[in-house]
Amino acid sequence: MTTTTNRPDRNLALELVRVTEAGALAAAKLAGKGDKIAADQAAVDAMRGVLDGVAMNGVVVIGEGEKDEAPMLFNGESVGDGTGPEMEIAVDPLEGTTLCAKGMPNALSVIALSPKGTMFDPGPCVYMEKLAAGADVADLLDLDRPIGETLKLMAQRRACAVNDLTVIVLDRPRHEDGIKEIRDAGARVRLISDGDVSAVLVAVSPDRPIDLLWGVGGTPEGVLAAAAVKCIGGGLIGRLWPRDEGEKQAAIDAGYDLDRQLSQDDLVTGDDCFFSATGVTDGDLLQGVRSQGAGSWTTESLVMRSRSGTVRRIMAQHNRAKLRELNPEMYG
**Domain definitions of the chain by residue range:** 12-117+272-326, 127-267
pLDDT at residue 1 in the model? 35
206 marked among binding-site residues: no
In angstroms, the Cα distances linking 39 to 52, 210, 271 are 21, 28, 33
- SS3 at position 283: coil
Q: 3 pLDDT exceeds 50?
A: no
Superfamily of domain 12-117+272-326: Fructose-1,6-Bisphosphatase, subunit A, domain 1 (3.30.540.10)
134 marked among binding-site residues: no
Q: 6 pLDDT exceeds 90?
A: no
Contact 201, 232 (CB under 8 A): yes
Contact 91, 62 (CB under 8 A): yes
Task: Write out pLDDT tens, residues 316-332.
Answer: 998 878 877 777 766 66
178 marked among binding-site residues: no
172 marked among binding-site residues: yes
Per-residue confidence band for 20, with pLDDT thresholds at 50, 70 and 90: very high
- The CATH code that applies to domain 127-267 is 3.40.190.90
pLDDT at residue 128 in the model? 97
| CA–CA–CA angle 170, 300, 102 (5° rounding) | 45
Provide the whole-model pTM. 0.92
174 marked among binding-site residues: yes
Q: 23 pLDDT exceeds 90?
A: yes
Q: What is the mean pLDDT of residues 257-265?
A: 97
Q: 4 pLDDT exceeds 60?
A: no
